[in-house]
Amino acid sequence: MYQLKVRLDHNMPFSDLSKKIPDAYISRWCNLQVDVLEIEGEDMQKVESKVKESLDTLSATPIHIARFDNAMEVVVKCKCAMENSSIAIVEASDCIPVMPVTYKAGYEYLKVISFDRKHMQDLLNNLMSVAKVKVEDMGSIVSHSARSAMTVSLDQIFGSLTMRQLSAIVQALERGYYNLPKRNISIEEMARNAGIARSTFEEHLRKAETKLLLAIRPYARIAYISRNKEEKL
């Protein structure tokens, strides 16, 4: 199995949006039904304005838009095609895109896996026809399956947690705090076990819960939309 990481410079829709908000960080998940965008930035008023402007220009159909303190979540109907999406180019080249695709300062950062080196070279040639391509990493990888190579990394889920927050959530999980029915375990008891005040332990635990839920939010959104569509058929 082979892996390719590239930086792309082009004017396709989401890179074009990134150029308009260069200080923002955009993460994109696509399942060929919907695009889920998470956009983090400081000036969220400007970000929201540019996002809505871009959606109007693209005639994109928004499914869901939510704004938070320093982030925004946008879900639109997928309009991926060879002329406007690197993901479509990847799949047409018999390769597999690994989500999320990310954008910063107008550049698109794309990770791809393939079972055939020739397909990887075909992909590079196809990408070079629409973008300036910088190869950041390319080579064979050791993986037991394509599924494991595409799995969300631990860093994506747990990377934002501090060691104390991680310790609190692990203790709560292992001691049955989240079991249904819940075991006879309290915040006070876990705090004593950790050797810290109850209020401090609870703060670590709640922050860990919030960060984990936010980390899986895009995947939950895709699952919800896909399942909802299936149930309507």
In order of start, what are the domains of the chain with their CATH numbers? 2-151 (no CATH), 155-232 (1.10.10)
- Interaxial angle between packed helices 198-232 and 163-174, expressed in degrees from 0 to 180 and rounded to the nearest 10: 70
Q: What is the pTM of this model?
A: 0.69
Contact 82, 123 (CB under 8 A): no
Q: Residue 29 CA to chain centroid, in angstroms?
A: 6
Name residue 137's beta-bridge partners.
5
Q: 169: closest CA among 217, 206, 121, 200?
A: 206
pLDDT band at 34 (very low <50, low <70, confident <90, very high): confident
Neighbours of 38 (CB within 10 A): 20
**Percentage above 70 pLDDT, the chain:** 91
pLDDT tens for 94-152 read 999 988 899 999 999 999 999 999 999 999 999 999 999 999 999 887 665 555 555 56
Q: How far apart are CA 198 and CA 195, in angstroms?
A: 9
pLDDT of residue 41: 87
What is the rounded average pLDDT of the residues 164-186?
92
Cβ neighbourhood burial of 173 (10 Å; 0-12, 13-18, 19+): exposed
pLDDT of residue 233: 57
Encoding tokens for residue 101? 């695709």
Contact 1, 146 (CB under 8 A): yes
Least confident range of 39-48, 54-63, 157-166, 188-197: 54-63
